[in-house]
Amino acid sequence: MTNESTSQKETIAVFGAGGFIGSHMVVALIRAGYRVQAIDLTLEKLEDDWDELNTSDRLEAIDIDIRNHRDRVEEIVRGADIIIDLIAFANPSIYVEDPLGTVDLNLFENLRIVELCHKYDKFLIQYSTCEVYGLAQDREDKVFSEDTSNLILGPINQHRWIYACAKQMLERIVHAYGMMHDLNYIIIRPFNFVGPRIDYLIHSRADGNPRVFSHFMSALLLDKPLPLVDGGKNLRSYVHIADATQAFLIALENRDKLNRQIVNIGTPNNETSIRELAHLVIRLYEEETGKTFTQGTVDIPGEEFYGPGYADIDRRIPDASKMAALGWAPTYDLEATFRESIRYYLEHNTLKAGD
Which residues form the catalytic set?
163
CA angle 333, 334, 335 (to 5 degrees): 95
Interaction partner, residue 236 (ligand NAD, ligand UGA, none; CB < 5-8 Å by kind): ligand UGA
Site for ligand NAD contains 201 (CB under 6 A): no
Q: Which of 37, 102, 106, 129 is the binder for ligand UGA (CB under 6 A)?
A: 129
Site for ligand UGA contains 196 (CB under 6 A): no
Site for ligand UGA contains 215 (CB under 6 A): yes
- Which of the stretches 3-11, 65-73, 147-155, 168-176 binds ligand NAD when contact is defined by CB under 6 A? 65-73
Site for ligand UGA contains 227 (CB under 6 A): yes
Site for ligand NAD contains 332 (CB under 6 A): no
Residues 134-163 that bind ligand UGA (CB under 6 A): 163
Residues 233-262 that bind ligand UGA (CB under 6 A): 234, 236
Site for ligand UGA contains 86 (CB under 6 A): no
Site for ligand UGA contains 283 (CB under 6 A): no
Alpha helix segments (H runs only) across the chain: 20-31, 50-54, 70-79, 92-97, 99-103, 110-120, 136-139, 161-181, 212-222, 241-253, 255-258, 274-289, 302-306, 321-325, 334-347
Site for ligand NAD contains 266 (CB under 6 A): no
Which positions ≥6 away from 285 have C-beta within 8 Å?
220, 291, 293, 342
Q: Which of 149, 184, 192, 270 is the binder for ligand NAD (CB under 6 A)?
A: 192
Residue type, 204: S
- Which of the stretches 34-42, 50-58, 168-176, 251-259 binds ligand NAD when contact is defined by CB under 6 A? 34-42
Q: Which is nearer to ligand NAD, 200 or 293 (CB)?
A: 200
Helix (H, G, I), strand (E, B) or coil at 354: coil
CA distance 212 to 225: 13
One symbol per residue from 111 to 130: x for binding ligand NAD (CB under 6 A), - otherwise; what is it?
----------------x-xx
Q: Which is nearer to ligand UGA, 16 or 227 (CB)?
A: 227
Site for ligand UGA contains 345 (CB under 6 A): no
Site for ligand UGA contains 228 (CB under 6 A): yes
Which positions ≥6 away from 55 have C-beta within 8 Å?
1, 2
Helix (H, G, I), strand (E, B) or coil at 122: coil
CA distance 322 to 124: 19
Site for ligand UGA contains 191 (CB under 6 A): yes
Angstrom distances, CA of residue 133 to CA of 165, 208, 235, 277, 344: 10, 27, 14, 23, 31
Helix (H) / strand (E) element for 8: namely none
Beta bridge partners of 37: 13, 60
CA angle 232, 235, 236 (to 5 degrees): 120
Q: Which is nearer to ligand UGA, 53 or 217 (CB)?
A: 217
CA distance 276 to 295: 16
CA distance 103 to 107: 5
Q: Which of 84, 130, 143, 202 is the binder for ligand UGA (CB under 6 A)?
A: 130
Name the residues that contact ligand NAD, by CB under 6 A.
16, 18-22, 40-42, 65-67, 86-88, 90, 105, 127, 129-130, 190, 192-193
Q: Which residues bind ligand UGA (CB under 6 A)?
A: 90, 92, 129-131, 163, 190-192, 211-212, 215, 227-229, 232, 234, 236, 274, 302, 312
